[in-house]
Structure 1
Amino acid sequence: MPIRTLVWGENVHEQKNKVVAENYPNGMHNQIASLLKQDGNLSVKTTTLQEPEHGLTDSVLAETDVLLWWGHAAHDKVDDAVVKRVMEHVWQGMGLIVLHSGHHSKVFKGLMGSPANLHWREAGERERLWVVNPGHPIAKGLPAYFELEYEEMYGEPFTVPEPLETVFVSWFQGGEVFRSGLTYRRGAGNIFYFRPGHETYPTYHDANVGQVLRNAVNWAYSGDRHAHLMKAPNTPVGEAIEKIEERGAKLSAADHAGEVKK
């Protein structure tokens, strides 16, 4: 079965900025999708902020194995109920790939439990991405490093939790460095953050970037959903694996044993 992949795009800059529209005449989400479609193992769809429920209904997410997220100008426009829904599907096993300024999305910050802040500069400078974990599946088929001639600078410190693995580290012409490819696991879901992708530059036309994204989708795919992780059921004494007898006070009884009556 192909990996069911959904690209979520904010689709705001393309409508308002001539440079972005020239770089991505069909929208950034569709260009990202075109890179992914080069892998015949992926079944790729797109949706945007402007769709009802941002195109992220429960039924859509239930049929999504890996979700890619690009956002920037409208983080606050994403409905909190949709954010919660996406996070729940990640906890159950849906893979998530967060791109560029998606680091400040409600979804990513919520899953990280951190502000995910950083330093930045928009100067069209060269970015050199070093593959610091060449044996990682996300680095498969890549050279020791690759360069993007024009990119926005992100600089450390990046206020996210310590990752499980660091796959890429970036250097910029201005001298800054940045951990630009990080993996996490939340619940049963695999998460990858990938830094490049500023909207005024043609980053998503780069062959190496495409290779990273295809690799990342294959890595993030788990193939399973674990809905029971969203529940916290009580296990009755009679259903214990080993035979036990109740003893001591407890609060779970209907009359809350031990509660002072007024």
Structure 2
Amino acid sequence: MNVLVWNEYRHEKENQVVADVYPDGIHGAIAEFLGEDHVQVKTATLDEEEHGLTDEVLAETDVLVWWGHKAHDEVQDEIAEKVKQRVLDGMGLVVLHSGHFSKPFKKLMGTTCDLKWREADEKERLWVVDPTHPIADGIGEYIELEKEEMYGEHFDIPAPDELVFLSWFEGGEVFRSGATFKRGRGKIFYFRPGHETYPTYYNKEIQKVIRNGVNYVRNADTPKPVYGNAQPLENITSQS
């Protein structure tokens, strides 16, 4: 499996707090633990040519993991459209945290993907609401994070095909934090935790969920439908 971890890589360059938490970038931290599963992992960032998302790179990518926050508008529309098309053609997509506002995710959802938010160092408890789901494999009843950014409902997304996690925050809000969608031949997993100033991606349970998510959205050689005018499979008896 070829996995590409994409990250803006802006906060780490501009904010020392973030640089201290993720000295190799958020993409580096995620790529490191995904590589433990003996998959082929590469990284790409916003300021690379074509954002590191050339036709060749996308063509060989089985699963794209996306983290973005402050520079969504800098992603070229044509590149976002190519990512969308690759998902429709069967590439898996894992969207993390503030990637909910990324161009590819919004294109695939067809909604604003807006939400409530607050930075107050509050506790988050992610409840597993579908314990039989493969993405929840190896996770107990909930994951507790000591400090995270709050995301709250209403989350303006289409009704998920599957809801795996529901978060509760210390301030009282709840949020659909782990949701899957099918688009064309591709599968998408949105997973909420991961604000840049917190060491969330070093949490072993969070890592486990992301690893499970990558495996879940990987395309299992789904047949490509044939559209348009079709010849009959059986003889058709003409009717007068």
TM tier, smaller: over 0.9
Separation of aligned partners in 2, 1:138 and 1:156: 22
SS at match of 1:5: strand
Specify the alignment match of 1:240 in structure 2.
Answer: 231
Corresponding position: 1:20 with 2:18: yes
TM-score in terms of structure 1 length: 0.86
Write the letter of the residue equivalent to 1:105.
S
Specify the alignment match of 1:103 in structure 2.
Answer: 100
Separation of aligned partners in 2, 1:227 and 1:109: 24
Q: CA RMSD in A?
A: 1.6
Q: How many residues align?
A: 235
SS at match of 2:36: coil
Corresponding position: 1:215 with 2:212: yes
Corresponding position: 1:8 with 2:6: yes
Cα offsets for 1:237-262 (capped at 9, x unmatched): xx732689xxxxxxxxxxxxxxxxxx
Greater than 4 Å deviation, 4+ residue runs = 225-229
Corresponding position: 1:133 with 2:130: yes
SS at match of 1:30: helix
Identity, % of aligned positions: 58
Separation of aligned partners in 2, 1:208 and 1:10: 24
Is the 1:163–1:184 Cα contact (8 Å) retained in structure 2? yes
SS at match of 1:37: helix
Write the letter of the residue equivalent to 2:8.
E
Separation of aligned partners in 1, 2:58 and 2:195: 26
* Structure 1 unaligned regions, length at least 5: 245-262
Larger Rg: 1
Corresponding position: 1:183 with 2:174: no
Specify the alignment match of 2:75 in structure 1.
Answer: 78
Is the 1:92–1:226 Cα contact (8 Å) retained in structure 2? no
Q: State the 1:127 CA deviation.
A: 0.5
Q: State the 1:224 CA deviation.
A: 3.0
Is the 1:128–1:171 Cα contact (8 Å) retained in structure 2? yes
Change (3 A) 1:64 1:226: farther
SS at match of 1:209: helix
Separation of aligned partners in 2, 1:56 and 1:243: 48
Corresponding position: 1:123 with 2:114: no
Specify the alignment match of 1:54 in structure 2.
Answer: 51
Specify the alignment match of 2:84 in structure 1.
Answer: 87
Write the letter of the residue equivalent to 1:34.
E
Specify the alignment match of 2:164 in structure 1.
Answer: 167
Write the letter of the residue equivalent to 1:69.
W
